[in-house]
Amino acid sequence: MKFPLFLKICPPKAAVMYTFITKSELFCFVSVILFFLDFCSTIDVKAQREKYIPDYSVYHNYSMLHREITQIVKRNPNFMRIEKEYESRNKVSQLVLHIKNFTGSFNTQISKYTENSKLKILFSYGVHAREFLPTESLLYLLKNLTKGLTFPHGSFEEQFSRYVLSHIDIYIISVANPDGRLYIESTNNYCWRGTETGVDLDRNFDWEYGRKGSSSDPKDEEYRGLHKFSEPESLAFTDLTEKIKFDLFMSFHSGIKHIYIPFADTKSKKIGRQVDNLNDMLDLAMELSHCTKYTYKYGQAYKLNDYTADGTIFDFMAGVRKIPFSYTVELWGQNHKGTSCFDLFNPPNEDLKEVLETIHPLYVQLFRYMIDWKSSQVRHITEDFNEESSLNFGYILMMLSACLTFFVCLTGKNRFHHRRRIVSLKSLGSSFSASFMKA
Ligand SMILES: *[C@@H]1O[C@H](CO)[C@@H](O)[C@H](O)[C@H]1NC(C)=O
Ligand SMILES: *[C@@H]1O[C@H](CO)[C@@H](O)[C@H](O)[C@H]1NC(C)=O
Ligand SMILES: *[C@@H]1O[C@H](CO)[C@@H](O)[C@H](O)[C@H]1NC(C)=O
Ligand SMILES: [Zn+2]
């Protein structure tokens, strides 16, 4: 898209001419080119001719997503709730789910302990309107977990669901940007990425907000909005992470097969900033990268991409909220040519089911890894606690024996004087025991 326009403005002949022009003319010429390149690099989100579009008997439109998710929640009241207060600018529900085993959570010390030892996860889907696939993969996961519970006790399916539900406390923002989604459904513009007003939520957060890895142009697909957190859609993210100390945040996208580790912003690239637990994050990303039939590339975002992104949600979760594991996962993509959009981000209708099956092990591996990580963390904490208390106990013992020694010394001295004068078997015995105690 950049190149054809550049050629129109500056025909190739100009390149041959440059040996005959002065330095300042060259400078001027280059500046003009750079200006136009910059101008041309604005990627707008106008509708394009599509190779294929969603068939809504295969893909879910927003109203079907709403219906299916509410039905699943209704059927599983012991494990799922909808947090109704989180809505878009147009007051459409973001379908924020809370999934855990609610039946065991009475307000006792023991259940508080087990609650705290549960892995706390926040998943986000549908930040970018045109990426339909991620929310479909969520639906697949929800059906898998809830269906498993209906299997006979002790069957593999039932045990898998039980394993997940007994170890995890998970919040899911199922459709982070419902206005954008509904905009696509009413306009059939499958290139639309932002909210209804065109704000890219993933450039709107308070982490290096407003720098050049985002745009101030409302027509640009990376439009950052008027100010940070300008969109009501961000409340679900900021509110939940303020209330709850999550172990993992994962933002699901599509368009390519990549797993990004923070940071993505321009400044981090410049100064080489890294997350604190980069090695753990790389380790999990590595496991995820090859646990499916696909191969995902993974790494720090500013290294993996040739562009930077400022004000992203996952950088905010890592840098500000200090969530130890924060990823952006691009679930799917294929070789793509041309300007069409739907096929860039979503598989053809007839391939959707197979793609979802292929992606699913990613969740299984993720849960397994993180549940192990969490139990090792809990072990560390209890060990630290035990060490600390045994240290305290040792302290008390030491002080006690010091006091005792002091006391014995004091009284023993007097006796010693006596013994010097009256030497008897009895006093000899007591002096033995006194010296024994000192030792
Ligand atoms: C959503 O999809 C369903 C199933 O294909 C269809 O019946 C319904 O009319 C669609 N809703 C809207 C608002 O387009
Ligand atoms: C949920 O918790 C209850 C009470 O602790 C327990 O009896 C039940 O087996 C749990 N269910 C699952 C699926 O983990
Ligand atoms: C859910 O997913 C797991 C892991 O892939 C699988 O083993 C299990 O059979 C699935 N359960 C159902 C009910 O499909
Ligand atoms: Zn995206």
Decide if pLDDT at 9 tops 70.
Answer: no
- Mean pLDDT for the stretch of residues 293-300: 98
pLDDT at 424: 41
How many angstroms is it from 229 CA to the middle of ligand 4?
18
**φ/ψ (deg, to 5) at 377:** -65, -45
More confident residue, 6 or 55: 55
How many angstroms is it from 181 CA to the middle of ligand 1?
13
Stretch among 86-95, 132-141, 168-177, 404-413 having the lowest mean pLDDT: 404-413
Sequence letter at residue 339:
T
Residue 206 CA to chain centroid, in angstroms?
16
pLDDT at 133: 98
- 76 CB near ligand 2 (under 6 Å): no
Decide if pLDDT at 433 tops 70.
Answer: no
Average model confidence (pLDDT) for the chain?
A: 85
In the chain, % of residues over pLDDT 70: 77
Q: Are 190 and 248 in contact (CB under 8 A)?
A: no
Decide if pLDDT at 36 tops 50.
Answer: yes
pTM of the full structure: 0.81
- 188 CB near ligand 2 (under 6 Å): no
pLDDT at 427: 39
Q: What is the pLDDT of residues 125-176, one digit of tens each?
A: 999 999 999 999 999 999 999 999 999 999 999 999 999 999 999 999 999 9
pLDDT at 399: 72
At residue 206's C-alpha, the angle toward residues 200 and 212, to 5°, is 60
Stretch among 56-60, 254-258, 401-405 having the lowest mean pLDDT: 401-405
Residue nearest to atom 11 of ligand 1 (CA): 63
How many angstroms is it from 365 CA to the middle of ligand 3?
12
pLDDT at 45: 84
Decide if pLDDT at 12 tops 60.
Answer: no
Residue carrying structure tokens 């697949």? 140
Decide if pLDDT at 421 tops 80.
Answer: no
In the chain, % of residues over pLDDT 90: 71
For residue 7, give both structure tokens: 């050629």
Please report, for residues 39, 141, 366, the alpha-carbon distance to residue 325 in angstroms, rounded to integers and kept in the order given. 37, 21, 11
- 291 CB near ligand 3 (under 6 Å): no
- 163 CB near ligand 2 (under 6 Å): no
Concatenate the DSSP letters of all residues of 20-63 into one string: GS-HHHHHHHHHHHHHHHHHHT--B------S----TTTS--HH
What is the 3-state secondary structure of 68-119? Answer: HHHHHHHHCCCCEEEECCCECCCCCECCEEEECCHHHCCCCHHHHHHHHCCE
Q: Are 247 and 121 in contact (CB under 8 A)?
A: yes
How many angstroms is it from 60 CA to the middle of ligand 3?
22
> Which of the following is catalytic: 131, 221, 233, 330?
330
Instruction: Look at the chain and count its residues.
Output: 439
For residue 302, give both structure tokens: 């500013």
pLDDT at 93: 98
- 144 CB near ligand 3 (under 6 Å): yes
pLDDT at 22: 59
Helix (H) or strand (E) run with residue 373 in it: helix 361-421
Confidence of residue 112 (pLDDT cuts 50, 70, 90): confident
| Cis upstream peptide for 367 (omega within 30°) | no
Q: What is the pLDDT of residues 252-293, one digit of tens each?
A: 999 999 999 999 999 999 999 999 999 999 999 999 999 999
pLDDT at 287: 98
Q: What is the pLDDT of residues 329-350, one digit of tens each?
A: 999 999 999 999 999 999 999 9
Greatest mean pLDDT among 39-43, 242-246, 408-412 lies in: 242-246
- In the residue annotation, 330 being an active-site residue is answered as yes
pLDDT at 190: 98
Decide if pLDDT at 400 tops 50.
Answer: yes
Please report, for residues 148, 168, 377, the alpha-carbon distance to residue 372 in angstroms, rounded to integers and kept in the order given. 22, 11, 9
Residue nearest to atom 6 of ligand 2 (CA): 104
Decide if pLDDT at 32 tops 50.
Answer: yes
Q: Which atom of ligand 3 sits closest to the CA of residue 147?
A: 13
Q: How far apart are CA 48 and CA 366, in angstroms?
A: 36
